[in-house]
């Protein structure tokens, strides 16, 4: 299973939110580039970057920073936040980023998904779905929708999506535990998808549970920044990449 450290960016800083609330911000590093290098030094191969300001206001701000991270590390980077067009996707891929996370844009343009798959390929795109009680939220988690998670997964799979990153908003930034029952339910219903779990991971036990159920990856944020989980220790077990 992939271990994927996360860098969430607001005003150029590495931050973490609690349950997606923008008034509950902790700044951990004022240099995302140095943070990315640190994760790589500790053995990480992958990196998940989110432009939180972009996610909230619908405009990607961090392409230069993204390009700098891609050029200064060998990390396999995926990026999301504020993407609202196919041109935005292309601009992100042009930085050296390997995959693009699509959330709000997917939900608002669900009928155009096949065109995106045809243009970019399913391996370049991740359906990044943020949920509260299995209901989709958009625009940086602040706007509710009438869409049920399982209906959206089914629709996106039929249109060619294979990669999914699913965040339980109520777990994110809490260090409580991931939404194990939700992920089990998803993988039982859709066993062929590549599922990345996000939110609440706080121990190697959590990671082992996600691995055993068949998650492709786990996105780690606060647990790394608070020192609750050590990347070096994880990678020494040989269980994760």
- The residues that are catalytic are 8, 130
Strand-pair partners of 214: none
Angle formed by the axes of helices 63-72 and 32-41, nearest 10°: 30
| C-beta of residue 23 within 8 angstroms of C-beta of residue 51 | no
Q: Which residue has the tokens 């390009």?
A: 67
Taking the alpha carbons of 53, 57, 61, 67 in that order, is the dihedral positive or negative? positive
| C-beta of residue 54 within 8 angstroms of C-beta of residue 91 | no
Cα angle for residues 81, 74, 205 (degrees, 5° grid) = 70
| C-beta of residue 65 within 8 angstroms of C-beta of residue 32 | yes
* Residue 151: other Cβ atoms inside 10 A: 12
Taking the alpha carbons of 124, 45, 128, 204 in that order, is the dihedral positive or negative? positive
| C-beta of residue 18 within 8 angstroms of C-beta of residue 174 | yes
Q: Which residue has the tokens 């549970």?
A: 209
């Amino acid at each position: 299973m992939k271990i994927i450290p996360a860098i969430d960016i607001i005003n150029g800083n590495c931050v973490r939110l609690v349950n997606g609330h923008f008034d509950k911000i902790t700044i951990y590093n004022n240099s995302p580039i140095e943070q990315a290098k640190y994760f790589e030094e500790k053995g990480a191969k992958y990196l998940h970057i989110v432009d939180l300001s972009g996610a909230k206001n619908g405009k990607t701000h961090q392409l230069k920073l993204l390009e700098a991270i891609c050029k200064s590390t060998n990390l396999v980077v995926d990026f999301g936040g504020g993407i609202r067009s196919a041109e935005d996707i292309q601009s992100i891929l042009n930085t050296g980023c390997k995959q693009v996370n699509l959330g709000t844009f997917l939900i608002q343009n669900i009928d155009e998904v096949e065109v995106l798959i045809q243009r970019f390929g399913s391996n370049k795109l991740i359906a990044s779905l943020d949920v509260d009680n299995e209901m989709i939220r958009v625009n940086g988690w602040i706007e509710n929708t009438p869409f049920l998670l399982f209906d959206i997964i089914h629709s996106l799979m039929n249109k060619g999506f294979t990669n999914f990153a699913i965040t339980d908003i109520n777990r994110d930034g809490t260090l409580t535990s991931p939404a194990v029952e939700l992920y089990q339910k998803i993988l039982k219903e859709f066993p062929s998808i590549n599922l990345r779990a996000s939110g609440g991971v706080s121990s190697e036990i959590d990671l082992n549970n996600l691995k055993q159920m068949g998650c492709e990856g786990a996105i780690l944020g606060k647990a790394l920044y608070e020192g609750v989980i050590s990347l070096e220790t994880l990678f020494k077990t040989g269980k994760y990449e």
